[in-house]
Structure 1
């Protein structure tokens, strides 16, 4: 009898295992072999079988039910036999986030929702350069996310959270730090100067040996301020020019390995070599003045202070979209090759911010050298605001150009945008710039009505008996910002600076807000100051959410 019972139990167990194996086999068989590319993404086209459930389908494709519902909203009312469902092909990317766009949703809004830049979305979804359409499925690249709504689904069904490889928390056991400043001082050239022959101070300032000394002086002023709050810095200053052979000798010095932070070098090739050297030693490197962000790729220990051209144009485009959403946009250039690359980049950014490019053409383009002022006027609207973005840095051209535009302001509401160097033009009449409501961008904006700016001016004059230039302010801001973070979080602050742990910081002239495209990349400063002529002075009007 016991044998019979034991045999009966064995039969039940064997049948249960067989049923389980059969169920697993059916799960694999139910997986569709039909694949379709939708908006550049690969999807299985799954045909619902009789009595098949969402749970079984999700299990077959190793995704969540929420993912299926997000991509197939009609399935929320129940699935039917022979219904076609889009199932994402994830491959090895189990953490992929998909977003299905709603009506009137913009790329800018989506990017902000996930704490990304528009550029990040376009990079992960190249088809977005052709515009955003309702119901489009886009990939959200891996990065810090926030404010995730119901239509933003991860395959594992959980909301995404940010996790750093290393904890980001304040340090308490260190007050003294080693910092290297690799700056082009051209000391060999200084030694060759005969100061007896230089009778005017301004003449020697034009010598390249004195170009970056103001930056060094700004750093020293920052160290004075930090010393007052209890920070001790051992500053090692190295004369690093474009010669990488000279740099190699410096990198062989034993003290370099003890550095908690390296500021510089200022030029690309020596900076590249320093980044390569510092990476295995986990030393963070600051790129202080370069606009080239190529070294950020796969170098998490690099921080670029100057926003790249893409970031600057993106800030301008976002500002226009936020403040003049219904305006006419006209892009003006002279067909010069170096300007055309900027025009192409701006057009891509504007396209990515457009809800539906196929229906709404949001900008016009004018080659001024061929079409002249008439080419611009043909696109001006008497009812709307007219944004004119101009790519030309020739002072004589700009002088005549703004005069011709000013002749149209009685008939049209014109708002002019120009490159940063227009501010230094001396022969262009300010009255024209005022009437055209000229907007400019800057990575460094000195507001002489700021009392803190005036405090630094006073200290600099007392200490160096001269007037500070922009490099003094940049040296101060960059040193004060990064050394303050070093004091608070230690040398491993790279996990903090691009996260919510460190909020954006407004320096005297340079503002800081860093982000990374992906976790393994370095961080780039996103903040570009936008200001305009108002009451015959420059007033900052940068977007609040930069």
Structure 2
């Protein structure tokens, strides 16, 4: 991305830092004498956090007299269908009530202003705004819950008869549970009490996967493939026994049910059309730009981290734009974490992050620790776009595949394809003994390159090669000098008539300027988290958009948005059977019970072809 473009983006971030993808109205206001942020917020009926988000250069403690603020205007009234009076019961909180009625805590406070001056008490009577619901919202998650008592949100055109049938009740039983609901309206909640039935026991495993079924033939194929009975499907999916497959249903299955990995298309049939609230936490280092005596162009040239953050940010915005074209409403809130734990703490202190459904970022480890610990209170998932967490966290998702997974893929490829004609050899850094031990244990007789000096010599590489054999040479190093020397030496031996195939768990040590012709001649096989899956058609094929980090930002953000829209809950969405794939990356998360963290297990195994093209190699399924 060009320097001029980055300067424009930095300027935009300065102007409006918290980006909201949904349309919103704004006003400006010049603060009068004796007014503070709380007073201004009350005047416009918005939260202090909202004002801070759109005015990044002010703080809660700065004197504001004479300052001109950007004020986001609330348009909540346009989304309200009606109000309902609710008497608070003992031990209830604003949070629990907000969850029951699916409205924000701040929305409840807005329409019950006495809560701005005191705490909630039992026996308080609240006016709860009942929000308008899109016509296609689904009660799938409610129907598939295993609770005997629950609430059903009435949809447009629904009838008592249809609702009762969905839950295996008669109309009379439904009316007995809801004596005040003589006539039902969209947005009403009906109490549902399921009958207790004798059903088969649930599997011991508490982990599940989700599979979408569109027809009876799909269901038959699913039962044969996953070896599950109709009784078990009914037990795990109570709605199924009443509604059947219908026009498509997402079925819950035991996680250990076996089925082939497959590509998931989450770009349609959304079960949750509500606005998605996502936080983007990146080290823009805006304060450094403000304080620097250098020009913005000079600062950008020197600050690689800021350039990466801007590319990720641009990719995330492109994903939001693409999601909106699919009909998904996204509220993307962007935060500058800086490069210190103090910067992350300031973001936490100055913003209400508990409204987020997912967080993308941060980048540096101290910030990952701080944000994940803060969001763990509400189990808000934290998806790391370009780094791996060095700590455990049951809500942390490493979107980059682990080194161990990449090594396992190389080992599996060798195991599935090696023959007696193959001469296997390995050059490995001393610091990675684990991979070396795995290769030695799995393939006894593997030859090792032994370096006598601190640098690699051509004769040391030649000592493990054998003419008349197919030489598979495994290179496992993070050192650029060793990687480049190895490629050069192997190419020289190839020209002398040796049949050589180079394999690398990661080619991060190979610089971009190394000869692709050499790599093609050596039929390089390597693993990578990204691969050019499809052409870039986001903005007419602009080269600016081919940045590795732009595409990473797009793919990670798009995956989070679509998973939230498809199922409604990110944790449920990662249990879907298969992987998602976008412009350059694919994702299939699994929970590591030992490390207590989610890892992306979708990685590309890529091979150079004779014509300099790349080909993705598919491994055989593991038994």
CA, structure 1 residues 291+318, in 2 after alignment: closer, same or farther (shift >3 Å)?
A: farther
Q: Secondary structure at the match of 2:306?
A: helix
TM-score, normalising length from structure 2? 0.52
Deviations 1:67-87 (A, max 9, x none): xxxxxxxxxxxxxxxxxxxxx
Deviation at 1:192, TM superposition (A): 4.1
CA, structure 1 residues 188+534, in 2 after alignment: closer, same or farther (shift >3 Å)?
A: same
Which residue matches 1:365? 448
Deviation at 1:313, TM superposition (A): 1.4
Matched, 1:456 2:542: no
Work out whether residues 324 and 385 of structure 1, in 8 Å CA contact, stay in contact via their aligned partners in 2: no
CA, structure 1 residues 224+405, in 2 after alignment: closer, same or farther (shift >3 Å)?
A: same
Deviation at 1:225, TM superposition (A): 0.6
Deviation at 1:217, TM superposition (A): 0.4
CA, structure 1 residues 219+362, in 2 after alignment: closer, same or farther (shift >3 Å)?
A: farther
Deviation at 1:530, TM superposition (A): 2.6
Q: Secondary structure at the match of 1:252?
A: helix
Which residue matches 1:89? none
Q: Structure 2 regions of 5+ residues with no counterpart?
A: 1-202, 206-224, 227-253, 260-268
Deviation at 1:270, TM superposition (A): 1.0
Work out whether residues 279 and 333 of structure 2, in 8 Å CA contact, stay in contact via their aligned partners in 1: yes
Q: Within 1, Cα distance between the matches of 2:492 and 2:445?
A: 25
Which residue matches 2:557? 479
Q: Which of 578, 582, 586 is the aligned partner of 1:507?
A: 582
Which residue matches 2:431? 341
Q: Secondary structure at the match of 1:471?
A: helix
Matched, 1:413 2:499: yes
CA, structure 1 residues 228+247, in 2 after alignment: closer, same or farther (shift >3 Å)?
A: same
Q: Which of 357, 360, 364 is the aligned partner of 1:267?
A: 364
Work out whether residues 189 and 209 of structure 1, in 8 Å CA contact, stay in contact via their aligned partners in 2: no
CA, structure 1 residues 483+404, in 2 after alignment: closer, same or farther (shift >3 Å)?
A: same
Q: Secondary structure at the match of 1:178?
A: strand
Deviation at 1:446, TM superposition (A): 3.2
Deviation at 1:185, TM superposition (A): 0.6
Which residue matches 1:438? 524
Which residue matches 2:275? 176
Q: Structure 1 regions of 5+ residues with no counterpart?
A: 1-93, 97-112, 115-142, 149-169, 334-338, 355-359
1:302-321 correspondence runs (5 A): 302-321=396-415
Matched, 1:328 2:403: no
Q: Which of 411, 424, 429 is the aligned partner of 2:511?
A: 424
Work out whether residues 319 and 543 of structure 1, in 8 Å CA contact, stay in contact via their aligned partners in 2: no
Q: Secondary structure at the match of 2:530?
A: coil
After TM superposition, where is structure 1 displaced by more than 6 Å over at least 4 residues in a row?
none
- Name the Cα RMSD after superposition: 3.4
Q: Secondary structure at the match of 1:307?
A: coil
The farther-off stretch of 385-394 and 222-231 is 385-394
Work out whether residues 323 and 558 of structure 2, in 8 Å CA contact, stay in contact via their aligned partners in 1: yes
Q: Within 1, Cα distance between the matches of 2:568 and 2:320?
A: 17
TM-score, normalising length from structure 1? 0.59
CA, structure 1 residues 212+243, in 2 after alignment: closer, same or farther (shift >3 Å)?
A: same
How many residue pairs are counted as aligned between the two chains?
359
Deviation at 1:532, TM superposition (A): 2.8
Q: Within 1, Cα distance between the matches of 2:308 and 2:523?
A: 33
Deviation at 1:309, TM superposition (A): 1.4
Q: Secondary structure at the match of 1:537?
A: coil
1:123-522 correspondence runs (5 A): 144-146=255-257, 172=271, 174-192=273-291, 198=297, 204=301, 207-253=304-350, 255-292=352-389, 294-295=390-391, 297=392, 299-324=393-418, 326=420, 327-333=422-428, 339-342=429-432, 344-350=433-439, 354=442, 361-370=444-453, 372-409=457-494, 410-418=496-504, 419-426=506-513, 428-446=514-532, 450-451=534-535, 454-456=536-538, 458=540, 466=544, 468-491=546-569, 493-497=570-574, 499=575, 501-518=576-593, 521-522=596-597
Q: Within 1, Cα distance between the matches of 2:322 and 2:301?
A: 29
Deviation at 1:306, TM superposition (A): 0.6
Work out whether residues 531 and 538 of structure 1, in 8 Å CA contact, stay in contact via their aligned partners in 2: no
Deviations 1:90-121 (A, max 9, x none): xxxx979xxxxxxxxxxxxxxxx99xxxxxxx
Work out whether residues 300 and 519 of structure 1, in 8 Å CA contact, stay in contact via their aligned partners in 2: no
Q: Within 2, Cα distance between the matches of 1:362 and 1:145?
A: 36
Work out whether residues 441 and 531 of structure 1, in 8 Å CA contact, stay in contact via their aligned partners in 2: yes
CA, structure 1 residues 193+207, in 2 after alignment: closer, same or farther (shift >3 Å)?
A: farther
Deviations 1:248-277 (A, max 9, x none): 232234531111111111111111121111
Work out whether residues 353 and 375 of structure 2, in 8 Å CA contact, stay in contact via their aligned partners in 1: no
